[in-house]
A and B are shown apart, each in its own frame.
Chain A
Amino acid sequence: MVEARNTLRDEPSESGHFGLFGGRFVAETLMPLILEVEQAYAAAQADPDFATELTGFLTTYAGRPSPLYFAERLTEHFGGAKIYFKRDELNHTGSHKINNCLGQILLAKRMGKTRIIAETGAGQHGVAAATVCARFGLECIVYMGAKDIERQKPNVFRMNLLGAEVRPVEKGSETLKEAMNEALRDWVANVDDTYYLIGTAAGPHPYPSIVRDFQSVIGEEVRVQMEEAEGRLPDTLVACIGGGSNAIGLFHPFLDDTDVRLIGVEAAGKGIACGEHAASITGGNPGVLHGNRTFLLQDNDGQIRDAHSISAGLDYPGIGPEHAWLHLQGRVDYVSASDTEALAAFQLCSQLEGILPALEPSHALSYVGKIAPELGNDHLLVMNLCGRGDKDVFTVADALGANL
C-alpha cells in the first residue's frame, strides 16, 4: 500500500529511514562519529555562511551552473522527444562528483578533521575528492579496487598528480564494494582525525541525505534553465544509477511535480537473466550492507554477489536507499541498459553531438534512445550527462577491439 502524502521530499525520518530503507547499520565504534557528522551537518545547514561559501566555490571553482544543452542532432536522429543534456560533465574534474565533494570538504573542515578518506569506482569521485583535498590542504587517501585501477588508469594518475594516495584493494571482486569495505575499516581505525567523504547517496545516515542535498543543485538548475529555454518544466528526466547520486540530485527537486516522469537506468551488464549485472532494483532484493538497508544483489543465504558492468562507476551491488524507497513508492521508474547498449550510445553521442560521454551516462542515453522515438516532438526530455568519457577511452577501445 502506498500512502497518499503531501510531499515526497521530506524523507528521511529523524532516525535516517526512508520507509524500510536507509538507517545506520554500522559498528558501535562508528556510531558516535556518524552522530557527530549528523550534528555538524545540521549546524552547517542552519548557518547561512556555509551556503554562501559553498555557492562561491561551486560558481568560481567548479564552474556552475552547468549548461542545459539542446541535443539537436540526437533529437533529429531519434525523431521524437526534444532531448536536452544537463552538462554536468563540464564541471571541474569532469563529472557531477565535485558538487558533493565541495560540500563535504567544507563540512569536514568545520569538524576540524585533517585526514580525508574516500572510496571510488570509476575514479571520478576519487579525482573530485583528491581535488578538493588539494585545494584545502588536507591529506587524502582513496581506496580503489585493483580491477578498477586497471581499467581506469588515467584517473589513478590524476589522483596521484593531485597529491592523493590511491590504495589498491585486492579482495573479492576488486571493485567499488571492496573499496567501500576498506574505507569503512580505515575509518574505524582512525576515528579521531578522519572524515569519510562518501561519494554516492548511500551508506549510513546522514550520508544519503548529505550527498542528495549537495547534488540537488543539478535538478534545481534544470528547473530554472528549462523554464528559461521552454517556459515550462520538463516532461521526463533520465539519469543513470550506480549508487545513484547524480540521479537523486536531478530527481529530488522534481519529486513533487507528479507530471514529471522520472527514470533511473541501472546497468544490466551482460544481461539481467545471466546474473552478470549491476541492476540492484531490477535484479536484487532488500538487504543490509555498508550502513544502510536497500536493494542488493545477493544470494539466498544473504551473501552479497559481485556486480558486473562495463562501467566501473555503476559496478556496485547496491543502490542508494532513497531510490529503493522511491521505487516502492512508484515515483521513479527503474529500468536497465546493457554493456552493449551503453557502448552503442557512447559511440552515437560522440559522432552526432561531438561529446564523449562517460560510460555511466551512456546507459541513460541508451534508454533515451528507446523511449524518445515514441514521444511527441513537444515532449521535453532531460538526460543528466553526469560525466565525460575521456577516462573510458581505454575500456571502449578494448571493447571495440582497437589497439591504443
Chain B
Amino acid sequence: MSSKVTKSRITRRFAKLKEQNRAALVPFITANDPNADVFGQILEGLPAAGADLIELGMPFSDPMADGPSVQLSSQRALKAGVTLQGVLDTVAAMREWEMDTPIILMGYYNPIYRYGPEEFAKAAAEAGVDGLIVVDLPPEEAEELNQHLRDNGLHMIFLAAPTTDTTRLPRVLEHASGFLYYVAVKGVTGTKSADMVQVGAAVAAIRKETNLPIGVGFGIRTAEQAAEMAAFADATVVGSAIVDIITDGLNDNSEADAGLSARVLDFVKTLSDGVRGARASAMTQAASGGGS
C-alpha cells in the first residue's frame, strides 16, 4: 500500500473519530440531484450538519443494485445533464473550501470504463476524491480499476454482504482499503430495514478478520437506527431516506421548493446527533444494567 493511502483523508478521519470514540455518519446523495443549484446548497451544508464522510452517487442509467429512491435520483441527475466529468468538477470545486471531509464516489463501472480507468483514477485524485465504491466490481473483476486507484492514492472500498460467507470474506478483504462497507440487508438500497442483531453479529465476525474500519449501509432510515448501528459500527451510511426528502420536495416539473436543502440538512443533523450520542448512551445503559 502506498504511503499516500495510509495518510489519506479517510484514514485520518477514522483515526480522529476513534480518538473521540464515536462512529462516522456518512450521508449519501446523488451528484447534482435534483439540480446543480439545490445540490450545491446541500453539499455546502453537509460538513456543518455533521457529515463525517460524504458519499456521492455517480448517476447511471441502469442502477441494478438500487431501489426506487436512488433510481429516481439517478434519473433526475441525468436529466439535469450531469456527466462523470461533471461529478469530478463538483468535487474539485468543493475542495476549494473544504479540505478535511473525505469524499467517496459510489456508482457503477460502465461510465468509469468508458472514461478510461487510468484516466479516471488520475482525474478523480486531482479533483480531491478519496475513495470509490463500484457496486458491480466484485474483487474478481476489480483489479483493472483498483491498480490505477492505488497508483493515485485512492481507496477502493469493497462491499461485504450477508451472503459473503467466511470462506469468501478473505477474498473481499484482500484488496479492501479505506474501510469495509457491510451491506446490512439482502436486497437493493432503500427497500428493507436492517436487522440489528444479525448485523451486529456479522460486524463482530468481520472484525476478527480485519483492522479496517467497518461501515454499515442499506436499510438505515432513521436517527434511531443510525444510532443503533453506530454503537458497534465505525460508520453508518444513510442514503435512500435522504434522497426521499429530495423526491418529496419536488413538484411535478421537478422544481424544488425553497426550503428543500434546509430540510435535507436538518435531517442529516438529526442523524448526526443520533450517531454522536450512540456510544455514550450505550455505555450509560450498560452501566445502569439496561443494556442488552
- Residues of A173-232 contacting chain B, CB below 8 A: 177, 181, 184-185, 188-192
Number of interface residues of B (CB under 8 A): 42
A27 touches B71 (CB 8 A): no
A300 touches B114 (CB 8 A): yes
Once A27-B64, A28-B158, A31-B140 are accepted as A-B contacts, the answer to whether A189 and B188 lie under 8 Å apart by CB is yes
- Could you tell me the distance between the alpha carbons of A181 and B83 in the complex, rounded to whole angstroms? 21
Chain B residue with minimal CB distance to A172? B61
- Residues of B101-127 contacting chain A, CB below 8 A: 108-115
B residues whose Cβ falls under 8 Å from a Cβ of A: 60-65, 67, 71, 78, 83-85, 108-115, 135-138, 140-141, 158-165, 168, 172, 183, 186-188, 191-192
Once A27-B135, A31-B168, A185-B188 are accepted as A-B contacts, the answer to whether A191 and B64 lie under 8 Å apart by CB is no
A25 touches B114 (CB 8 A): no
A191 touches B138 (CB 8 A): no
User: How many residue pairs, one in A and one in B, have C-beta atoms under 8 Å apart?
Assistant: 117
B168 touches A171 (CB 8 A): no
- Could you tell me the distance between the alpha carbons of A364 and B284 in the complex, rounded to whole angstroms? 73
Once A288-B109, A289-B110 are accepted as A-B contacts, the answer to whether A185 and B65 lie under 8 Å apart by CB is yes
Number of interface residues of A (CB under 8 A): 39
Shortest Cβ gap from A15 to chain B (Å): 7
- Could you tell me the distance between the alpha carbons of A104 and B168 in the complex, rounded to whole angstroms? 25
Chain A residue with minimal CB distance to B165? A32
| A275 interface hit (Cβ, 8 Å) | no
- Could you tell me the distance between the alpha carbons of A31 and B183 in the complex, rounded to whole angstroms? 13
Q: Which of B83, B85, B112, B164 is in CB contact (< 8 Å) with A28? A: B164
Chain A residues near B137 (CB, 8 Å)? 25
25 intermolecular pairs with C-beta atoms under 8 Å apart? A23-B140, A25-B138, A27-B65, A27-B138, A28-B158, A29-B161, A29-B163, A30-B163, A31-B138, A33-B163, A35-B168, A181-B62, A184-B64, A185-B64, A185-B188, A188-B188, A287-B114, A288-B108, A288-B110, A298-B114, A301-B111, A302-B110, A302-B111, A303-B60, A304-B62
Chain A residues near B162 (CB, 8 Å)? 29
- Could you tell me the distance between the alpha carbons of A15 and B141 in the complex, rounded to whole angstroms? 9
| A54 interface hit (Cβ, 8 Å) | no
Shortest Cβ gap from A57 to chain B (Å): 31
B160 touches A28 (CB 8 A): yes
- Could you tell me the distance between the alpha carbons of A171 and B68 in the complex, rounded to whole angstroms? 10
Identify whether the interface residues of B are mostly helix, strand, loop, or mixed. loop
- Could you tell me the distance between the alpha carbons of A177 and B63 in the complex, rounded to whole angstroms? 12
Chain A residue with minimal CB distance to B158? A28
Identify whether the interface residues of A are mostly helix, strand, loop, or mixed. mixed
B136 touches A188 (CB 8 A): no
A24 touches B140 (CB 8 A): yes
Q: Which of B110, B163, B186, B191 is in CB contact (< 8 Å) with A298? A: B110
B111 touches A26 (CB 8 A): no
Chain A residues near B85 (CB, 8 Å)? 301
- Could you tell me the distance between the alpha carbons of A172 and B136 in the complex, rounded to whole angstroms? 20
- Could you tell me the distance between the alpha carbons of A293 and B65 in the complex, rounded to whole angstroms? 17
Shortest Cβ gap from A96 to chain B (Å): 27
Chain A residues near B187 (CB, 8 Å)? 29, 188-189
Chain B residues near A286 (CB, 8 Å)? 113
Chain A residues near B62 (CB, 8 Å)? 172, 177, 181, 289-290, 304
A27 touches B159 (CB 8 A): yes
Chain B residue with minimal CB distance to A17? B141
Nearest 9 A-B pairs (CB), nearest first? A302-B114, A302-B111, A189-B187, A29-B161, A28-B159, A303-B61, A27-B65, A302-B110, A32-B163
B113 touches A288 (CB 8 A): yes
Q: Which of A24, A184, A191, A302 is in CB contact (< 8 Å) with B113? A: A302
Chain A residues near B71 (CB, 8 Å)? 171
Q: Which of B84, B161, B168, B191 is in CB contact (< 8 Å) with A302? A: B84
Once A188-B188, A301-B83 are accepted as A-B contacts, the answer to whether A29 and B183 lie under 8 Å apart by CB is yes
B192 touches A189 (CB 8 A): yes
| Contact code string A300-331 (vs B, CB < 8 Å = 1, else 0) | 11111000000000000000000000000000
